[in-house]
């Protein structure tokens, strides 16, 4: 394994990639960014978790984009098919493709970050920066929440199966069982949070004032330089976008 990425480096890379693809608004670039994220996920061995999570977020989103813009796009000129008020237009499909690939790239990049970042490193890095420690904890809890939710859901599913709930292979059956698990999941998470809050208070977590960090995270100069370059690149992309759309967007 190569030397570890400082969490801020990974975060900067993810954020810059998202900003640049959004600003570029060019679907081949979005597709390339999404493919790169998938490739890295496979290499880091987290594809098995990133891809299902992405599917859960993106499938309904892309379907709604397709329905919304593919079928009802008022500016569409090239009609490919028509059923009453619904018209499939080339422009609509193009717009849906543009928006869909852009969102896909952003979601994949951030999922890749959240599934690969070392949360303790991130919290420690945040504690070392001037950000309030509670913010670091909230962020870390959010990142550990997904795995925690997955574990808890699994527990609830096992408990329900043990009492006769049959989970079928079909999507409908799975959705049906998921419905049974939602209320227990939320209640369990609230209960966990309540009992942990007392312990956190007792261990001084709520106290104001400075903190120290036991863990040390290496931040090599090369990574600092990379972060600076990535941020400049992202800023340039945004600036370029604003400049490019200025004449078209401004009233003549």
Using the rule CB under 8 A, is 206 a contact of other proteins? yes
Q: Give the pairing type, strands 86-89 and 79-83.
A: antiparallel
Using the rule CB under 8 A, is 128 a contact of other proteins? no
* Binding residues for other proteins restricted to 40-59, rule: CB under 8 A: 44-45, 48
**How near is the Cβ of 199 to other proteins at its closest, in Å?**
5
**How near is the Cβ of 157 to other proteins at its closest, in Å?**
9
Using the rule CB under 8 A, is 178 a contact of other proteins? no
| Nearer residue to other proteins within complex by CB, 67 or 183 | 183
| Nearer residue to other proteins within complex by CB, 29 or 143 | 143
What are 91's two structure tokens?
């422009």
| Nearer residue to other proteins within complex by CB, 175 or 250 | 175
The angle subtended at Cα 46 by Cα 41 and Cα 51, nearest 5°, is 75
CB of 109 within 8 A of CB of 145?
no
What are 209's two structure tokens?
């004032």
Measured CA to CA, the distance from residue 54 to residue 243 in angstroms comes to: 33
Residue spans of beta strands (DSSP E) within 48-188: 79-83, 86-89
**How near is the Cβ of 31 to other proteins at its closest, in Å?**
27
C-alpha distances in angstroms, 146 versus 52, 95, 143, 187, 241? 13, 32, 6, 16, 34
Using the rule CB under 8 A, is 158 a contact of other proteins? yes
Measured CA to CA, the distance from residue 57 to residue 53 in angstroms comes to: 7
Which of 80, 187, 222, 232 contacts other proteins by CB under 8 A? 187
Using the rule CB under 8 A, is 188 a contact of other proteins? yes
Which of 78, 79, 150, 215 contacts other proteins by CB under 8 A? 215
Residue spans of beta strands (DSSP E) within the chain: 79-83, 86-89
CB of 127 within 8 A of CB of 213?
yes
- Outline where 129-170 has alpha helix (H): 133-162
Instruction: From 15-23, 73-81, 208-216, 218-226, give the range in contact with other proteins by CB under 8 A.
Output: 208-216
Q: How many residues bind other proteins (CB under 8 A)?
A: 53
Using the rule CB under 8 A, is 3 a contact of other proteins? no
Q: At what angle do helices 47-65 and 90-116 cross, to 10 degrees?
A: 150
| Nearer residue to other proteins within complex by CB, 66 or 119 | 119
**How near is the Cβ of 226 to other proteins at its closest, in Å?**
23
Interface residue list for other proteins (CB under 8 A): 1, 44-45, 48, 118-120, 123, 127, 133, 137, 140-141, 144, 148, 155-156, 158-168, 181, 183-184, 187-188, 191, 195-196, 198-207, 209-215
């Amino acid at each position: 394994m190569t030397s570890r990425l400082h969490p801020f480096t990974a975060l900067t890379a993810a954020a810059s990639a998202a900003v640049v693809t959004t600003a570029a608004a060019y679907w081949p670039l979005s597709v390339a960014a999404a493919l790169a994220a998938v490739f890295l996920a496979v290499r880091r061995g987290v594809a098995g978790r990133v891809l299902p999570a992405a599917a859960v977020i993106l499938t309904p989103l892309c379907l709604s984009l397709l329905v919304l813009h593919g079928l009802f796009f008022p500016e569409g000129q090239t009609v490919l098919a028509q059923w009453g008020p619904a018209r499939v237009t080339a422009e609509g499909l193009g717009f849906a493709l543009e928006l869909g690939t852009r969102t896909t790239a952003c979601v994949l990049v951030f999922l890749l970050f959240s599934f690969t970042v070392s949360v303790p490193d991130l919290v420690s890095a945040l504690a070392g920066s001037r950000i309030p420690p509670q913010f670091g904890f909230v962020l870390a809890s959010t990142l550990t929440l997904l795995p925690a939710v997955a574990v808890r859901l699994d527990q609830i599913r096992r408990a329900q199966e043990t009492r006769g709930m049959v989970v079928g292979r079909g999507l409908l059956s799975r959705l049906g069982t998921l419905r049974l698990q939602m209320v227990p999941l939320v209640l369990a998470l609230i209960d966990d949070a309540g009992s942990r809050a007392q312990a956190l208070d007792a261990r001084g977590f709520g106290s104001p004032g400075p903190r120290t960090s036991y863990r040390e995270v290496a931040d090599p100069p090369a990574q600092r330089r990379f972060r600076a370059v990535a941020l400049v690149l992202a800023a340039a992309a945004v600036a370029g976008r604003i400049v490019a759309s200025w004449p078209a967007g401004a009233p003549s």
